[in-house]
Chains A and B, each alone.
Chain A
Amino acid sequence: MRPLFIFRLPAALVVSAAPSVVLAVVWHAASPITLPLWRDIAIVTGWLGTAMLAASTVLMIREPHLARLLGGLELSYRWHHRVGVLAYLALLIHPLALAFGGWAQSPHVAWESLAPRPRGWPVWLGWGALILIMIGLAAAFARQLPYRRWRGLHALLGVGVLLGFSHVWVMLGEPVPLLAIVAIGVLALAWRVLATDFGLAALPYRVTSIARPAAGVIEASVAPCGAALDVMPGQFVLAAFGRNSNYAGCGEYHPFTISAIEAGRCLRMTVKALGPCSHRLQSLEPDAIVRLQGPFGSFLSEPHDRPELWIAGGIGITPFMAALRAEPRSTPTTLIYLYRATSDAAFLEELERLAQTDPNFALFSEATGDRTPTVDALTARVPRLNECRAYICGPPAMVDAMTRRLVELGIALRHIHYERFDFRS
């Protein structure tokens, strides 16, 4: 991911939250009544939380153009998470500020400002929203939860956000321009659910053949049934596999990297058995229908203006396969391919053949076993190492360790690009 893009999302955050604060301040300045400080705080935090909830829902939309604008899907998801937590903090302060405001009159008024029972269903909506968001966030932080349960609990956040928007709508009592923030949030949520989760934005493909390049790995060739995605090497798609007479897919969308782009806009996707869904996909059969969304990602899209060093860990080889299969290398390229055992090394023979025929392509491969891989011995053989542009794809721990080591070896951080696919979706 381009580091430059990291600066865009804080800007987006400020843009999304600032109007609510500015409008709230202007509204209060123009108001004929001077409001107590705690009430000001309650109103501002209420709007701030609402605006950040709306921003967080926009950040979870999986639309290729929007994802590109925001610096990639992985970065969008990271900010979706952070903005959601910050919205939660603001929404915690909102009812407490109301209670502090009531405290000036009496502890009884303070409690009645908080308690939903005496104040009717609009306040129940607010409490419902806060508690569902609380449960949803607690689940989001529980990374050890099985994916299906995690996803179900995470969906509570969507319900909580809708309840929160309803609370704002009902409590406000009259239409104001700020309600546009609520409208944006509702539209973003609807877009995400309909286009992505129900797959209205997906294109159907048919599985034409299955190859098994390594133990526990399949490579599915798919052909478009109608319109096709415009995919570049290094990109990934979100795929939901359907069923045929012998095989039932998982039905939900998971990210898979494209390992080949072929004539007729046919694609090949490589699937390693890592979780329950990808285990089931190992028995995928031809003629199954797969629905694809995307493409996403900008890996391998930098200019070919310097030598390239590619580092692949295990199934992280797939984006490099797509690039090597697309065309011969135009710039000197060294691939360091690390895998646990030779039986796990997908495409190794094909890579060795490519290294023999493409003069710009060199391959260093190594079975690392269970030890942590070190690249020093291999990078020592890479010519002009500190001039290289590096691309790393593999498990998050490997990507982090390699990035640190390459910086120590003299490669500028801006020339190191990585993909690690560790977001839950």
Chain B
Amino acid sequence: MMRNLFITSTAVFWLAVAVFWVADLRYVDGTGERHSVAVERTWTLEQVSRHDRAADCWMAIDGTVFDLTAYLPQHPSNPAVILPWCGKDASTAYRTKTRGRPHSAYADRLLTTFRIGTLIAR
């Protein structure tokens, strides 16, 4: 029984992976990229600091402002790690992941999709 379970589940798994792959290929050919922000805006740190909650979370990272509200549920770590940075300049935290390790190139690309403007001094 365990043997059949192994064979069946492995086959279904690879089939599902193949479906996701093909769907991605077709999607890129058809509709193209994710949303991008059309209007570039500027924000002060004071304005950013008003968005300091899980339900409304902005962060400034390396001079760019991001609205990460929609992304928070997808972040791999415990929310307690990322939530305190809502409404703040999180450049160092992003670069070090609070443990001296940078985010991946994928994370960098993902981050740009949440960009809402640039940070200005005042």
Contact = CB atoms under 8 A, between A and B. Distances in A.
B24 to A, nearest CB: 3
Contacts of B81: 173-174
A120 B102 CA distance: 11
Interface string A181-218: 00000000000000000000000000000000000000
Interface stretch (B38-46, B59-67, B72-80, B114-122): B72-80
A35 B73 contact: yes
B83 A32 contact: yes
B54 interface: yes
Contacts of A39: 73-74
A114 interface: yes
Chain A binding site: helix, strand, loop or mixed by DSSP? helix
A244 interface: no
A107 B6 contact: no
B106 A120 contact: yes
Interface in B86-106: 97-99, 104-106
B13 A92 contact: yes
Contacts of B17: 96, 114
Interface in A47-77: none
B35 to A, nearest CB: 10
A5 B61 CA distance: 58
A174 B100 CA distance: 12
B27 A32 contact: no
A171 B106 contact: no
A171 B98 CA distance: 14
Contact of A96 (B13, B27, B76): B13
A39 B27 CA distance: 22
Contact of A88 (B6, B77, B109): B6
Interface stretch (A8-16, A133-141, A316-324, A377-385): A133-141
A157 to B, nearest CB: 13
A31 interface: yes
Contacts of A35: 73
Nearest to A119: B106
Contacts of B34: 105-106, 108-109
Interface residues of B, number: 34
Size class of the contact patch on chain A: 35 or more
B112 interface: no
Contacts of A36: 73-74
A27 interface: yes
Contacts of B5: 85, 89
Interface string A343-379: 0000000000000000000000000000000000000
B74 A120 contact: no
A146 interface: no
A32 B106 contact: no
B77 A173 contact: yes
A264 interface: no
The residue in B16, B74, B99 that gathers the most chain A C-beta atoms within 10 A of its C-beta is: B74
Contacts of B72: 33
Nearest to A82: B2
Contacts of A263: none
Given A108-B27, A111-B23, A112-B106, A171 B76 contact: yes
Nearest to A116: B106
A228 to B, nearest CB: 39
A89 B72 CA distance: 28
Contacts of B28: 108
B111 to A, nearest CB: 13
Nearest to A95: B17
Contacts of A134: 10
Interface string A226-266: 00000000000000000000000000000000000000000
A111 B28 CA distance: 11
24 contacts: A31-B79, A32-B83, A33-B54, A33-B72, A33-B83, A36-B74, A81-B2, A85-B5, A88-B6, A89-B9, A96-B16, A96-B17, A99-B16, A106-B34, A107-B20, A108-B24, A109-B34, A112-B24, A122-B104, A141-B6, A171-B76, A173-B97, A174-B81, A176-B78
Interface of B: 2-3, 5-6, 9-10, 13, 16-17, 20-21, 23-24, 26-28, 34, 54, 72-74, 76-79, 81, 83, 97-99, 104-106, 109
Given A107-B23, A107-B26, A171-B76, 18 more contacts: A32-B54, A32-B83, A33-B72, A33-B73, A34-B73, A35-B73, A39-B73, A85-B2, A85-B5, A96-B16, A106-B27, A120-B104, A120-B105, A120-B106, A138-B10, A141-B6, A174-B77, A174-B81
> Which 3 pairs across A and B sit closest by C-beta, in order of nearness?
A111-B24, A120-B104, A107-B23
